[in-house]
Amino acid sequence: MKNNVFENIIVDKKQEQFFDLLKDENIRIEKIVSNGQSSPINFWYESAENEFVLILKGDAILEYEDKELTLNEGDYINIKAFTKHRVKYTNQTQPTIWLAVFY
């Protein structure tokens, strides 16, 4: 079955949207749609999985304990498991569409 990663994009300033595109015991691929959301103050992700993140549309700022990283369309990073990070900013005027691969 054919799908499109840009389908079902809804602008919702109250909450992010999470869509599982593929999921099995070894890998999870997720589309995340942010509309100006960011992590709560003093909240840190520290996942037990590695996470590959690609910005398909929009932009964001990821914050680590010792640095910030601006991500624009087409930028990608690999976040190693147990690395503390948070979303400091996502675009407030257009959706930021992330492709996240957890492995």
DSSP states of the chain as a string?
----TTTT----TT--EEEEEEE-SS-EEEEEEESS--PPTT--B--SS-EEEEEEES-EEEEESS-EEEE-TT-EEEEPTT--EEEEEE-SSS-EEEEEEE-
Q: pLDDT digit of tens for each residue in the chain (103 aa)?
A: 899 999 988 888 889 999 999 999 999 999 999 999 999 999 999 999 999 999 999 999 999 999 999 999 999 999 999 999 999 999 999 999 999 999 9
Task: Give the chain's domains with CATH numbers.
Answer: 19-102 (2.60.120.10)
**Global pTM?**
0.91
